[in-house]
Amino acid sequence: MEQYLPLIIQIIAGAIGGNAAGAASKNVSLGGAGNTIAGAIGGGVLGQLLQIALPMLQGAGGGLDIGAIAGNLVGGGAAGAIVTAIIGLIKNKAAGR
């Protein structure tokens, strides 16, 4: 279970980041459910890639410490916001908004 904890943190943080991006700019909003789903996917996928690129996010000795948890929260949240914003821009541009 401990190996899945960073992914769970990233998915939750991504969903929060996606909703924050949608609330901050109506131009990129996908609606409540859309922001949550896009953010969760972005947080999970890009968060995992970030963890591979920055091994320090895995914590000391492969375990989780407060620094690793904070890094996963920030990385997942930012990734969720970025993915939501990109998808929202593409969707709204295609819709002619």
* Single pTM value for the model: 0.88
Instruction: Retrieve residue 56's tokens.
Output: 């320090």
pLDDT at residue 46, as a whole number = 93
Residue written as token pair 């909003």:
29
Q: How far apart are CA 24 and CA 20, in angstroms?
A: 6
For residue range 8-65, what is the model confidence (pLDDT) as tens digits?
Answer: 999 999 999 999 999 999 899 999 999 999 999 999 999 899 888 887 777 766 566 8
CA max distance for the chain: 50
Burial classification of residue 7, based on how many CB atoms lie within 10 Å of its CB (0-12 exposed, 13-18 middle, 19 or more buried): middle
Q: What's the angle, vertex CA 76, arms to CA 57 and CA 74, rounded to 5?
A: 70
pLDDT at residue 87, as a whole number = 96
pLDDT at residue 63, as a whole number = 63
All residues at 6 or more sequence positions from 87 whose CB lies less than 8 Å from its CB, including other chains:
28, 30, 34, 38
